[in-house]
Amino acid sequence: MADIKDAVKERSMILQKDMLAKQFNDLSRAQELKKKVVYTFVPGNLTELILSFDMLPVYPEINALQSGMRKKSSEFIRDAEKIGYSEDVCTYVKCDIGMMLNGNIGPTGEKLPPPDLLLLSYTGCFTFLKWFENLERLYPGVPVAMLHTPYQEDGKITPEQVDYMVKQLKEEVIPKFEQVTGKKFDPDRLSKMMEYSAQSEDLLVKILESAKRKPSPIDAYFAGVYYIGPIFTAFRGTEEAAQYYTELYHEVQERIRLGLGPITPEGEMKEEKFRLVMEGPPNWTNFREFWKIFYDVGAVIVASTYTKVGGVYDTGFRHNPDEPLESLAKYCMGCYTNLNLPQRVDLIESYVKNYRADGFLINSIKSCNSFSAGQLMIMRQIEQRTGVQVGFIESDLVDPRYFSYANIKNRLESYFQMLEQRKIILEQQGVAV
């Protein structure tokens, strides 16, 4: 998603960087390229469908997190608060609105084009709806396509729910796409893209599951957020994405062969001391500092839920060329934040067990209700079911005012100490660790 500056660069990183550069360059020249621009969201995105109409997607929350990493978010949030947005609301929204108030300059310094279509396909987060109501006011007259994703309240996807979503795709979304682009829907092209999607998804799962090894060759959270970049955003269903994941997969295989630990901004992690499962998005404004607290003590994240917000693939779901619209529907409903709390607990429990984790840690986001609601319950349940050491820290997505480095470092240090002690006790008891 963003480049790791001053760090050892692998080929896959360069590939991803080039892909992103081209994407933002295309966006800045959208008019010249005669491409229509659609603003939409990551969780439950319809990237293949968008690309099959030759449209260019813009993901506001990616722009917001990029602004956070580039230390721009503080100013953007302030500007949004100046025009009346509360201190309490989602900081992605404020950051995005602030960016638009400041000329809509994207992460690469190029201006982002205004939308030709607002595609509100939101999953698991009610605020997306409000976000788009605000965007509609900023871009009056721009057509809106809305796709409603039913929440998995009963912990399963029913055939009626799939029908309901396919009906919306056919009757609402696709006609709007046709109207905006003047192109006809091409089901064959969509199916072809889904082959690439499934291919990338297979590879991504293998890459993420490599962390089951001891020691793990990857960090599935801090580096994981880079690994999910292409598939969560504008590239799922493209040949480039499939190439990227092939490359990344080979790199990880190579690391395994050489017995190397995860890559960090300061080179390889030498010794794996703690294996953790992480719940919640990372903080973007102090991402590197936050990461460093972990790799400095040899803590590696072996599995995370955040890398499932744009699609849960490790439980078997793949985009299916034989039923493209149905699989888009199932994809949307299956995204992590659309799961109910028991499903989330089950998933996390399986991570703790299958990835042989020593601990479970929650980074609770102050302004993100859809992620944070229920987290204390999740923590208690995981503690009961798995017996691992659990921990809880608080920060925010892109508002630096809510990232207190000293506080977080203190808390994590005592958490690591507890892990250490537990390890000693377990060793004394003769339990293999």
Partner 1 sequence: MEKVLDDMYRINGIHVTTESLNKAIRLYNTNRALIEEIYNIRSEYPWRLSAVETYYLLRAGLAIRVEEHNEILEQVLGHIQKERGEPMDNIRVVVTGSFCEQPPIGLIKSIEMAGCYIVDDDFMLGSRWIIGNVADATDNPLQALTSAYIHQSTFSSAYYDVGNPKGKRLADLARHRAADGIIFSAASFCDPALLDRPQMQKACDEAGIPHINFQYHENTGQFKVIKEQAGTFSDSIKLWV
CB of 130 to partner 1, least distance (A): 4
Cα atoms found within 13 Å of the Cα of residue 306, Cβ hemisphere only: 28
Rank residues 150 and 321 by Cβ distance to partner 1 and give the closer one.
150
CB of 332 to partner 1, least distance (A): 17
296 in the Ramachandran plot: left (φ > 0), alpha (ψ -120 to 50) or beta? alpha
Asked if 184 and 178 touch (Cβ cutoff 8 Å), the reply is yes
Rank residues 101 and 105 by Cβ distance to partner 1 and give the closer one.
101
CB of 94 to partner 1, least distance (A): 9
Phi/psi at 152 (5° precision): -80, 65
Rank residues 122 and 294 by Cβ distance to partner 1 and give the closer one.
122
CB of 396 to partner 1, least distance (A): 12
Long-range Cβ contacts of 29-38 (<8 Å, 24+ apart): 30/56, 30/113, 31/113, 36/116, 36/117, 36/180, 36/181, 37/113, 37/114, 37/115, 37/116, 37/117, 38/115, 38/116, 38/117, 38/118, 38/119, 38/180
Rank residues 5 and 137 by Cβ distance to partner 1 and give the closer one.
137
The residues that touch partner 1, with contacts defined as CB under 8 A, are 83-86, 88-90, 93, 126-127, 129-131, 133-134, 136-137, 144, 146, 367, 369
CB of 323 to partner 1, least distance (A): 24
CB of 98 to partner 1, least distance (A): 13
CB of 136 to partner 1, least distance (A): 5
Rank residues 132 and 222 by Cβ distance to partner 1 and give the closer one.
132
CB of 197 to partner 1, least distance (A): 29
Strands (E), 307-388: 359-365
Give the position of tokens 């992460």: 107
CB of 353 to partner 1, least distance (A): 32
Rank residues 91 and 305 by Cβ distance to partner 1 and give the closer one.
91
Give the position of tokens 């917001």: 64
Who contacts 331 (Cβ-Cβ below 8 Å, separation ≥6)? 44, 311, 317, 319
CA 330 from chain center: how many Å?
A: 18
Give the span between the Cα atoms of 45 and 62, in whole angstroms.
Answer: 13
Helices 11-28/239-258 angle, 10° precision: 160
Give the span between the Cα atoms of 204 and 201, in whole angstroms.
Answer: 5
Rank residues 88 and 322 by Cβ distance to partner 1 and give the closer one.
88
Rank residues 263 and 309 by Cβ distance to partner 1 and give the closer one.
309
By CB neighbour count within 10 A (0-12 exposed, 13-18 middle, 19+ buried), where does 83 fall?
exposed
Rank residues 160 and 322 by Cβ distance to partner 1 and give the closer one.
160
From the CB of residue 152, how many other CB atoms can be counted at a distance below 10 Å?
19
